[in-house]
Amino acid sequence: MSAFEAVIGLEVHVQLKTKSKLFCACPTAYGLPPNSATCPVCLGLPGALPTLNAETVRMAIRLGRALEARIQPRSTFYRKQYFYGDLPKGYQITQGPVAIVEEGTLRLPGDAAVRGASGPIACGIERAHLEEDAGKSNHDLHDGATLVDLNRAGVALLEIVGKPDLRSPLEAMEYLKSLHRLVTFLGICDGNMEEGSFRCDANVSLRKVGTEPFGTRVEIKNLNSFNNVRRALEFEILRQGRLLAAGDALTPETRGWDADKGETRIQRSKEGAHDYRFFPEPDLPTLVIEPAELKGALPELPEARAQRFMASHGLSEFEATTLLQSRPFAEYFEALATASGHAKAACNWMLGEVSRHLNDHGLGIGALPVAPEVLGALVRLVEDRVLNLTTAKDTVFPALLKGERDPAAFVAAQGLGQVSDRGAIEDLVRGILAANPDAVAQFRGGRANLRGFLVGQAMKAGGGKLDARLVNDVLDAELAKA
């Protein structure tokens, strides 16, 4: 089995965050009443003419520049013809032989888990082209009937076609995360995978290790999370490996991922694939990009922001990358770091309590009911050693989640402030040592782990309000006495 190497290339459909559709003024908002956001253009009524939405071009250029790609000065639109209920025109307008963005590079963070490499790796981008979305067929809303909602028909997509440069499911997942980060940081996509704003198809083939030619490619559809991409590729690599090891030939095909069953199933064979009869769109002129349109500042890219977090806040690459999971998350962190004046502590809170709360409730950072200024005040109380960390996490943070706005006042009112009076702590620690002579003797006899037990006893005796650092200091000093 290990005689084969996986070759993976991803195609990602990014829904552009524009107010109106690609070729008409219909709104793109999600969840409008079915078929209410439609007009003669996106319904494909005879005689209706498309007009290109200039905002989509600016967004495509922004992505192209971030990918260090070639922005084509002239690109064209084509008609891709096929018949389906949710495609009212009978064709999709997409970009023809020349796409607006070609030949770019996506850099992935140098996670040691990926390709066993340390240091960033890169994946080629073949092209990114503008195209319109189809409508939506709902098969489960009505018994025995499929209902078609055309609100999505004509919404602007950017299809980003990656080169087959990826070699493992983990690498593919990192590629997808990096691309997701990039488009959300550029502000061209909301990144919502459940609502289908960021969709991925994965292509995978196997080849004998050390050989050049690629094997037969299978395309996997219906991948709507980072994890599903990884799992589907793992399954597919095993399936193909088994067939090849048995001497069977693979056929080029499209397979669908079933997340519940954890398997891919054939949807259609690519042999005798339908002929889309591509031809130039007669109703749209050549898309011409002037050099002046390629100027102007780009927003700070995730990679640059990660470097800044590491350099100015002393964070590890893992911490910086995790904070950059989305633009709002990174922005909350920056506000928290400023408000608290302690970037490292702010990072620990973001990756600890805050993430735990969001994950437990399936929420995004936008739904956290605590402003960064309020949480920042709590972080400061801990860093200033007014409050111990355990009390901050277990008692004060939950109060903030319930609507408390003033951590300092809350701590004072509840008498939660920590004891950091050295004399008082010394008395208490001496009492603990006197009450546990066996543990002290065994500790001195070499059982070093009993120190933790003694710290725990002291913290408990102090009602969880003692300054833990001071308790440790005092305990060491007392134990050092003969």
Residues contributing to the site for Mg ion (CB under 5 A): 11
Q: Of the two residues 11 and 86, which places its CB atom closer to ligand ADP in the complex? A: 11
Q: Give the count of residues interacting with ligand ADP (CB under 6 A).
A: 14
Position 22 contacts Zn ion (CB under 5 A): no
Is there a contact between 74 and 286 (Cβ–Cβ < 8 Å)?
Answer: yes
Position 26 contacts Zn ion (CB under 5 A): yes
At 441, list the tokens.
């003797």
| Binding residue for Zn ion, selected from 24, 66, 186, 223, defined by CB under 5 A | 24
Position 52 contacts Zn ion (CB under 5 A): no
Q: How far is the CB of 150 from ligand ADP (least distance, A)?
A: 24
Position 39 contacts ligand ADP (CB under 6 A): no
Q: Taking each helix axis as running N to C, give the angle between helix 422-435 and helix 468-480, from 0 to 180 degrees, rounded to the nearest 10.
A: 60
Q: Which positions ≥6 away from 360 have C-beta within 8 Å?
A: none
- 369 burial (CB, 10 Å; 0-12 / 13-18 / 19+) is exposed
Q: How far is the CB of 342 from ligand ADP (least distance, A)?
A: 44
DSSP assignments along 93-152, one per residue: EEE-SS-SEEEEEEEE---TTSTT--S-EEEEEEEEEEEE---EEEEEEETTEEEEE-TT
Is there a contact between 236 and 255 (Cβ–Cβ < 8 Å)?
Answer: yes
Residue nearest to ligand ADP (CB): 9
Per-residue string for binding with ligand ADP, 191-210, x by CB under 6 A?
------------xxx-----
Of 161, 164, 176, 172, nearest to 128 (Cα)?
Answer: 161
Q: Of the two residues 54 and 122, which places its CB atom closer to Zn ion in the complex? A: 54
Q: From CA 164, how far away is CA 149, in angstroms rounded?
A: 34
Position 13 contacts ligand ADP (CB under 6 A): no
Q: How far is the CB of 172 from ligand ADP (least distance, A)?
A: 10
Position 82 contacts ligand ADP (CB under 6 A): no
Q: Give the count of residues interacting with Zn ion (CB under 5 A).
A: 5
Residue 39 binds which one of Zn ion, Mg ion, ligand ADP, none, with CB within 5 to 8 A depending on kind? Zn ion
Is there a contact between 162 and 106 (Cβ–Cβ < 8 Å)?
Answer: yes
Per-residue string for binding with ligand ADP, 132-171, x by CB under 6 A?
-----------------------------xxxx-------
At 353, list the tokens.
């309590």
Q: Taking each helix axis as running N to C, give the angle between helix 169-185 and helix 54-66, from 0 to 180 degrees, rounded to the nearest 10.
A: 130
Query: Site residues (CB under 5 A) for Zn ion?
Result: 24, 26, 39, 41-42
Query: Site residues (CB under 6 A) for ligand ADP?
Result: 7-11, 161-164, 203-205, 214, 217
